[in-house]
Every structure is written in structure tokens, then in C-alpha cells.
Structure 1
Amino acid sequence: MHRLAVTRARRLRVHAAPTLAAVALAFALASLASVKAAPPAAGAADGSAAARVRIETTDDGYQAWADNPLPGPIEVRLRYRQRHNTVASPELPARATIPAGGSTVVAAFRAADPSRALDFDLILDSVPGNPSAQPRDVTYLLPLAKDAPVMIDQGFAGTYSHDDEENRYAIDFAVPVGTAVLAARDGVVMQVIDRHLDAPRNNTTQHRGAAPADTLLRNANLIRVLHDDGTMAVYAHLQRDGAVVAPGQRVRAGQHIGWSGNTGFSTGPHLHFAVQVNRGMRLVSLPFRMEEVSRLPSDSGACVARPGHRE
């Protein structure tokens, strides 16, 4: 199984005292440069998105910029944690789409009453992918060598963990740790997370919603590959240091990209594969066709993927 929260919150608090002279105002605004973003909010996904918020001063207030260091587009949403005497343009929450490696002004801020202190606390959420992506109907390659021993543990709409939008059209391939993972389609590597250790044992005793399980959900190593139609393939539960590609690298279908593992909230070693698209600050999995899948055996009770099914 694989579940990955798609928002990462970064908080930035700004407080400026009222000033009576232009020189004093300029000094107060310049002092803002020492303000830094706080760590992600508790419960945020580990590495799910990497948007960064920063504040710059203007002649009459502040601008909130969102920076995207990823080699693929992201969507961000800027919102208040709290505010006092603050006016934003546009009003928050505000969204923006940021191209690969780009930066965007999401909102500008000023004091509602210039004679009083300005105080606001911001949270920036981000989701990988462009919400205007137009998926094409393509056939994916099996993301494993054809001679590798493999079984489908869980397929489309599997009741164990493929019961939400992000994972509904995912396939769990039961393979031993250290099995070569291949790109199922041409694309650009958008994200790589491979620092987490493999689970020392199966996690069948964990339950969703419990603190240990929530931690495990964030500790799944993965590779995300961006396709030219804006869809993204996710290869999850890889072993530690299991990626053999790097962000920004272009890969071809059938190319070796990593090694399977047993990281995150997993009931046993397997590769979780899904095709996703951003649909307005949320990741949605898409049904897809895949070569060879119809000939793979499935575990008892698993819902086998249906090649050729589209919605």
C-alpha cells in the first residue's frame, strides 16, 4: 500500500510596528529579511512537495513569493494561520501555479490601518503537478523486468488501501526487496525520496490513524516521474538509497530507475505504482492500461487491475 499526503505547510510570521516617517518605515521593512520560514507543520508529508515561501518588502507593504525548486510544475495555496490589521491582494486563500524551477508572487500585503501594527502568519501548501494537465490515453510498460517473479497484491479500488482518490487506480506488485524498477513511460524525474530505512518487519499490526502508522505513511521512499502530458507516475516503497536517477533527469520507458523495497506503511515488500494528476490542490490517480498486467497472478482477495479500462 502507499498513502502520501500531498500538502506541505511552511509557516512564516511577520510583525511590523507602525512607523511615522518614511525613513523609519524603510528600516522596519528592511528588518524583515531576517525572518525565516518555520519547519513544515506536524503531520505534513515528508518531501511530498517542496514549495518555499518568502517575504519581500515593497514601498507600501510586503509580497509573498512561492519558490519551486522542483524540475516540474507545482500548485500552491497561500492561507492565513492568523492575521491582525492585514489586507491581502488577492484575498487569501490564494492559489498559483509555478513552473519548474520558477517563482511567483502569490499575494501582496499592507496594513489596513497604517497607524497600527501589521501582524500576519502564513501557511503555504503545495501539490506537485499542473492542475490544467490534459492526460493522454497511452499504454504503460510493466515497471519490472518481464522475467522477474511478480504477483499483484492489490489492484484498482483495492479495499485495503486503494480506496481514496490518490490511490484508487494503483497497483501493488509483490516483489522481493532489491528488485529492479523500470520506468513505465518516458518522462523527467520530478522527485526522489530514498533516505528512509526499510521496515524491519511487516506492518500489519499498524492501523491507519494511529501515530505509528501516520509516521510510516510519511516514510515511503519514492520516485515521481513527470510525463509530457502533465501526468505523473509514482513508484513507491523503494529501498533506502534505492534510486539510480536524480531529479531533472530524463528517462526512457524501460530504463532502470531504482530498486524496490519495503518502506513506509507496507504489509510486505512490494512496488506501488500509480499514475496521478493534480486536480486543484489534490492528487488524483487515473486508470491506465499496462502491458503484461492481465497475465500476472493476483493474491487471494486482491482486486486485479483492469487493463484497458478508462474513465
Structure 2
Amino acid sequence: MLDGTVQIVTGGAGGLGAAASKILAANGATVVVNDLEPDTGDPSARQVVEQIINNGGDAAAHAGDVTSTNYVGRLISETVEEHGRLDGIVNFAGMLRDGYLTNMSDEEWNSVIDVHLTGHFTLLRAAGRYWQNGNRETETSDIDGQGSGSAETRSFLTVSSPSAKGNPGQANYAAAKAGILGLTRTAAMELAQFGVRVNALVPVAYTGMTNAFLDPDAYPVEKVAPAVAYLLSDEATRVTGCTVRVAGDAIALLSEPTPERIAFNEGGWDVATLSDRFEETLGDDTNLDRSDVPDW
């Protein structure tokens, strides 16, 4: 399915990223596994690479911070220098700094937005430039004479979350994950002319970030990984701009923001008319109090 392709997995040292790295390699890809340099005792990208190689796969580790423009440019340029091409990226890099918004510090807000939303932007921008220009331009270098991946396999997979619908105590995380969905749709539109597909994955899986409320037997990371391999492969050449949710045995295509109910008033709406008719017109048989916590 992925024979001969080169795939980058960011946040690949553990959980979903490690599972994705392993299944990509098992399906024939050369995998560049990125993560931060680990603290003592934490899993590392090198450990995942060793497991892949021991199972007969091809992989390399690359440590760095995906919020850094310079590092991301180096990640892509060095991947191409070493492996000759780049066909796909999936970005699992993430962190949590939970807290109610009235108690949330600027650092807690900014750090989560940086890792989740800015990290996706820096990766998409650098990869998009590489694919757009036949790999002649990245953030840090100009590389000539190497292929940039076939049009069939150029693919970027963003990673959002059910928290994009809103989740108490996660204003920063929910905002970032909702922003990723808008970024995904826009990137799919802009990069289609270069043969690049961009889709969003919404995984529901037992990881270090969800172990307080998910069943590890019902939602193992291994049940999400096949969707990663499919969406990055040329089997999904007609799939782009989509949001795909994987939760245990279920897979779903999520709807995009569309009007739920529309009302017209000749001449437009003034405050008095809205006060008289808003709930009756737009809320008839529809709950307008949406402060309940959504199901995952």
C-alpha cells in the first residue's frame, strides 16, 4: 500500500504516533519518527525506530520541536536528503495544559495553541512549499535533483479531537483542535492544484492524554492506526478535505459546519424582530441551550 513512500510521523514516540509509525512501516513505508528529546524514562523516537527495524521495517528518528519554523524546515530537508523524497506527514505532536478559562494563564493558552495549531501550520506550510516547488524550497535550504513524491501519494493528515466540539477545562485545547479543522479544509483547497491531499483525523483512543476516561480494551491506539495508513496511501486519492473520526470499532465521516436552520425576514432583521422570533423561528424543536458536555 505504501511501498517506496517516505512518511513523517510527528509526536511519534508513544501512543497514537508510535502505533501509526509501526503500521506505516508494516505497509512498506520508510518512516521518519519525530518527537522531542525525551525526559528520563519517557519513550523516545529512537525506541520506536528500533522496534520497526527489528520487525523488518525501515525507519529513522528525528528529534525536534514542530512549533519551530527552522526545525520543521530542517526536518523536511534532511528527510529528503537522506531518503530522496517525501510523500506524507501525520502530526500527532501534542500536549495538555487543562484548566477553566477564567483561571487559565497566558502561558497555558499559548503553549497549547503553539503545539497543536501552530505546529500544524508550520508543517503544512513547509511541506506545501516542498511539494509545490518540486522540493526546491524549504525553510532552511534549497535542494536540487530529487523527486518530491508522486502526485498520487502526496498527503498531509492533521489530527484534531472530539474536544473541538467544546470540553470544560480545555478552552485552549478545544480552540486549537477546532482551528485545525478550518486549517485542514483551507489547505485542502489551496494545495489540491499541486496534487496534495489534506484530511483531518479525529481519533478516540486510550493514551496518556485520555486514560482517565477511556477503556483501553475498547479504544486501543491500534484500532486508529489503519485509518492513518489508508489516508496517507494512494488508495485514498479521491479523499481530501474530509474529517474522519475513528473510535474503537467505528469509523465516521464528520459533517462540516453547515446551516442547521435558516430564516428570512424581508428587509433584514432588527433587534425587536429577533427578540420576537429568534427562538420560535430557529429554535422550534431544536435545543438552543447547548452548554451540555458532548459525548465523545
The structure whose RCO (Cα within 8 Å, separation 6+) is larger is 1
Relative to the length of structure 2, the TM-score reads: 0.28
Structure having the higher Rg: 1
Relative to the length of structure 1, the TM-score reads: 0.27
- Structure richer in strand, relative to its length: 1
